[in-house]
A and B are shown apart, each in its own frame.
Chain A
Amino acid sequence: MRLSTSAIALVVGLLINHGALASELPQRWVSAGGALSEWVVALGGEPKLVGVDTTSQHPATLKTLPSIGYQRQLSAEGILSLRPQVLAGTEEMGPPPVLAQIRSAGVQVEMFSAQPDLQALKSNLEQLGTLLGKEAEARALFGDYEQALQRQKNRLVKIQATRQAPGVLLLVGNAGGKPLVAGRDTAADWMLRQAGGHNLATHTGYKPFSAESLAGLSPQVLVFADRALTGEAARAALFKENPILASTPAAKQGRVLEVDPTLLVGGLGPRLPQNLEVLSAGFYPTLSEATP
């Protein structure tokens, strides 16, 4: 019974794949992974999307598409019910048995890298360009991206010749409660460094911090990545609740910045260079005004 069904699955798979090749490019896409979906949209693939996962929040129009749930906990039949030709996702997508079932139903499962580095982004964009029939646009996008990051780097070198990198802490999650501090080997750490900040946290991953060690580090800048912590009022409430946080040099001098937490998920996204620039301007307030 099992043999015969898998044989049929194989035949169906071959038939559908063959059909896809014959009728050019796949027209029905399901995308799992925030940054990846943004790139699909940036390459003009939005009309082809028939479903996205819960981490795909940008642009806001994606939220109107059917949600396939969280990218690590996909459901085979749910995705198949959208009749996609391609399921695009990062290595964070899963669980593996579900991916195998989706593959056996003849859906092309395309894996991309969620690593925050340019090489991974380059191959991601090439792959996406081929699948969407937009090779030239993909190359152009990558070129612009690389240049933007290079400009950012040059600016930093110039600034850091005269100024020291400020000590920064990036706080994630549960507004009002105990925030988690971003340590080494996180996307947040990578972002802080690219923006020219010095991450004061030395642990790995996102860990809760005691108020005492937070005060001991005396950060010059605090960065919040939290959807519930935007705006002055929310921040004032947080400082009122955590007097230690309020006593840091950053809070006293009002050097508190925000980043969109969706930037920290799923590799390098299209909105990153612009956000790095904003962060940098916050890290080096006087000089960034001087440099265009």
Chain B
Amino acid sequence: MTTLVKPRTLFIGLTLLCGLATWLSLALGPVSLPLWDTLRAALRLMGLPIDAHGLEQAELILGQIRLPRTLLGLAVGGVLALSGVAMQGLFRNPLADPGLVGVSSGAALGAAVAIVGSAFLGGLPDVFGPYVLSLCAFAGGLGVTALVYRLGRRDGQTHVATMLLAGIALTALSGSAVGLFTYLADDATLRTLTFWNLGSLNGASYSRLWPLLLVTAGVALWLPRRAKALNALLLGESEASHLGVDVEGLKRELVFCTALGVGAAVAAAGMIGFVGLVVPHLVRLLAGPDHRVLLPASVLAGASLLLCADLVARLALAPAELPIGIVTAFIGAPFFLYLLLRGRA
């Protein structure tokens, strides 16, 4: 496959796109703020000394609602896309998505336990409530992934094919456990569960944001250092190890980064499908399979896609809101098909 765009052009384009998406995400919303106010409030939030007179509403909407939401969108989109690249590299298959190692289904199971469990116990104090759900989802994702990884190991070697099948089996198992919880849940709990599964950036707050930002920054700084090793892995495991790559170490890192990144993203925003699968694919269609380009470009593209999807989610039915999981697929799938079919013509 030939590359369509030079890496330099791609990076400039994606950076502009991401910047534009960020600005739109801050500037647009159901509450219409004058552009000038938005700009001044944004500058004030950056700490510039600007007269606060008449800016109270803009600053509140921007600082308390749109900024945390935008940051959440950037982090979730970026880390999901990165994990997608990691998984597609690990399985050497462009159809792999982060769900393959069980992290999504594990997180869903953790969330189901938290939602149904806390309803069963008669609700938790408000202070805990949101954190319990996030922590359980994160722990569930990490736990199931660890199990999948263990099952894939034999004689000190990680068998990717075994891991893939173990991932499918454990996903099915977690799915049936979630089903059981769904059956046990009462009406109210059931609806909470359904909406959680569709994902949302709604109600983002700084306290839930920081852990995710840290994880995202960590993964985004770490994975690109392994870009060359990932490129070598494209040739095959034995070829990569002949080239001097510590293949076992690389696999471990990839699985760990994915579990951490997707676990944190899902814990903060619920299940948001499609980004991890399609964004790396899109970038590959544009710029080829070199991981030195693919990894950083996917972060930018994932973040941009998620912010755009979130804009649609909150503007389409305003003052009500769509779950973002619906929108990511709705925007992403046709675009993806277009790219695929255009290559054929």
Contacts and interface: CB of A to CB of B under 8 A. Distances in A.
A78 B60 contact: no
Interface in B168-220: 183, 185-188, 191-192, 195, 200, 202-206, 208
A81 B32 contact: yes
Given A69-B320, A73-B200, A101-B64, A78 B186 contact: no
Given A5-B60, A96-B130, A77 B206 contact: no
A67 B205 contact: no
Given A5-B60, A81-B31, A51 B319 contact: yes
Contacts of B208: 97
A68 B32 CA distance: 16
A51 B52 CA distance: 31
B321 A73 contact: yes
Contacts of B185: 205
A2 B206 contact: yes
Interface size class of B (residues with CB under 8 A): 35 or more
B52 A101 contact: no
B64 A9 contact: yes
Interface string B304-343: 0000000000100111110100000000000000000000
B63 interface: yes
B60 A81 contact: no
B56 A12 contact: yes
A75 interface: yes
B57 interface: yes
A135 interface: no
Given A73-B200, A81-B30, A105-B60, A5 B45 contact: yes
Interface in B105-124: none
B320 A205 contact: no
A234 interface: no
A75 B30 contact: yes
A66 interface: yes
Given A5-B63, A8-B59, A72-B188, 14 more contacts: A9-B64, A72-B191, A73-B323, A80-B30, A80-B31, A81-B29, A81-B32, A97-B203, A97-B205, A98-B203, A101-B64, A101-B205, A105-B60, A105-B64
